[in-house]
A and B are shown apart, each in its own frame.
Chain A
Amino acid sequence: MGQRTPLYDTHVRMGAKIVDFGGWDMPLHYGSQVDEHHRVRQDAGMFDVSHMNVVDLRGPDVRPFLRLLMANNVDRLKSPGRAMYTCMLNARGGVIDDLIVYFMGEQWFRLVMNAATRDKDLAWLDATARQMQGVSVQPRPDLGIIAVQGPNAREKVYHALGEGLRESTGKLKPFHAVSIGELFVATTGYTGEDGFELILPGKSAPFAWQGLTEAGVAPIGLGARDTLRLEAGMNLYGHDMDETTTPLESGLAWTVGWEPADRNFVGRDVLERQRAGGVPRRLVGLVLEDKGVLRDHQKAICGTAGEGEITSGSFSPTLGKSIALARVPAEVSDGSRCEVEVRGKRLVARVVKFPFVRNGKSCLD
């Protein structure tokens, strides 16, 4: 038996197929992964992501702490309620984890990190915090997270949790958050759709889930979460990047806060050398033109440029064809074609920019 979120019993009661996910017993689907995928693109669905690691950083020195530890520049967060996606790097420029930083006040920043990397993340944060005064690292296993995503997500959240929320959250743009009593509402997500991520006391999570169910929000498993994020061109830690790859090799150069040049974040020197000398590999999107399904670790043969590897491959329910993220030699250009070795055959795929899908619509030419 793995670890269980406060919603485990609810998932079982709703007919979920439960699988192990990084030591957690989590719902894979509640019947049909593809139906759940479409539900999020067309209406509203909710995910239990309470296994993710919420960490509150408190104290007067949190900002300099994050300036040092995060590849993105925390000083871009000027007004409380702003959020930022970033990688946390090791000294070799490799990605320890990717996360979202929420700036709630000069003495309170909230991090939401991956579940499978929890122990090493906390060890890394603690090791640095010990060397600085004025930073307290507070893991919050008492909290649950329900991500409600889809074009109708906001309206259904108001219906379920109260119209009073509309005033405080109705005008929130993407990548913002507001804390209302015990409820933390963020306009972040992992699907490429509008919606909220609700962080709340674990003991309240089943009641919120029940209310959302009654408001017509469908439960969505981790299976659809993966196809939704892949269509949205969002990296998955441990697949598309890890401690052996830098953000520049992982399609995440846009998340590196290069300015100001004198901010010496961990891993910066390696990234600077890569930027100056050229990045050998890059992450691209692939769309399969032949019939079949692309999978993780399949080899991509890119003509004279050399070979690459699929880091995330699956079937796109929205596009009706197989798509993938692949790490390939940097000289491979968008629009070119490569061959992917699929079960002993070579299938033709087109190299594309990602995301593949945003707000329910195809981004492909």
Chain B
Amino acid sequence: MSVAPKDLKYTKSHEWVRTMPDGSVVVGITDHAQQLLGDLVFIELPKAGAEYAAGKECAVIESVKAASDVYVPVSGRVIEANEGLGDAPETVNKDAYGDGWLFRMQPANPEELKSLLDADTYGKFVASEDH
């Protein structure tokens, strides 16, 4: 059974979002998502400075068996990407909510964060998808 920490927000496309004290947000994929994908072997991250509208594809995660898109949870500009994943994509399998973060961004409109799912709602969504 995968976990979904209470202090994070989530999307139905299985990204998590952590709001930092400076108002920026860190984005990753959930433990449930990494379990579904299996062993990750390649991650293509967004470039710092790139701007995206909420819901746009911004990264690609490839496991041994399949490729999967990552979507921007809220509109904004990418500040930095977790370049360490280039040589160690398996970090996402091992620590999806910690060292396996994907990128940090500055939201254009912090109000959008309110539309994301809380941990309980995401947990129920995952359970409903499994059945």
List residues of A whose CB falls within 8 A of some B CB.
28-29, 32-35, 223, 227, 291-293, 295, 314-315, 317, 322, 343
Contacts and interface: CB of A to CB of B under 8 A. Distances in A.
B39 interface: yes
Contacts of A291: 42, 44, 86
A35 B62 CA distance: 17
Interface in B12-44: 38-39, 41-42, 44
Contact of A314 (B44, B64, B93): B64
B39 A293 contact: no
Contact of A315 (B60, B64, B93): B64
Contacts of B86: 291
A325 B36 CA distance: 26
A33 B65 contact: yes
B50 interface: no
Given A34-B64, A291-B86, A293-B42, 12 more contacts: A28-B38, A32-B38, A33-B64, A223-B64, A227-B64, A291-B42, A291-B44, A292-B42, A295-B67, A315-B42, A343-B60, A343-B67
A343 B67 CA distance: 9
A32 B63 CA distance: 11
Report which residue of A35, A291, A314 has the largest number of chain B beta carbons within 10 angstroms of its beta carbon: A291
Nearest to A224: B64
Contacts of B65: 33, 223, 314
B35 to A, nearest CB: 9
A32 B67 contact: no
Q: Which 10 A-B pairs have the closest CB atoms?
A: A34-B39, A315-B41, A293-B62, A315-B64, A33-B39, A33-B64, A293-B42, A33-B38, A32-B39, A292-B42
A157 B64 CA distance: 29
A84 to B, nearest CB: 32
Contacts of B90: 34
A314 B86 CA distance: 18
Contacts of A227: 64
Interface string B59-100: 010101101000000000000000000100010010000000
User: Do most interface residues of chain A lie in helix, strand or loop, or is the interface mixed?
Assistant: mixed
Interface residues of B, number: 13
Report which residue of A28, A292, A293, A322 has the largest number of chain B beta carbons within 10 angstroms of its beta carbon: A293
Nearest to B60: A343
A295 B44 CA distance: 16
8 contacts: A33-B39, A33-B65, A34-B41, A293-B62, A314-B64, A314-B65, A315-B64, A343-B60
Contacts of A33: 38-39, 64-65
A244 B42 CA distance: 33
Given A33-B64, A293-B62, A293-B67, A223 B42 contact: no
A29 B38 CA distance: 9
Given A223-B64, A223-B65, A343-B67, A293 B41 contact: yes
A215 B127 CA distance: 38
Contacts of B42: 291-293, 315, 322
Contacts of A32: 38-39, 93
B38 to A, nearest CB: 6
Interface string B106-129: 000000000000000000000000
A223 B38 CA distance: 10
Contacts of A29: 38
A59 to B, nearest CB: 43
Report which residue of B39, B60, B93 has the largest number of chain A beta carbons within 10 angstroms of its beta carbon: B39
A328 B35 CA distance: 35
Nearest to A291: B42
A230 to B, nearest CB: 11
Contacts of B60: 343
Nearest to B86: A291
A120 B44 CA distance: 43
A294 to B, nearest CB: 10
Contacts of B93: 32
Nearest to A317: B64
A160 B93 CA distance: 33
Nearest to A292: B42
Nearest to B90: A34
Contacts of A28: 38
Contacts of A314: 64-65
Contacts of A315: 41-42, 62, 64
A295 B41 CA distance: 13
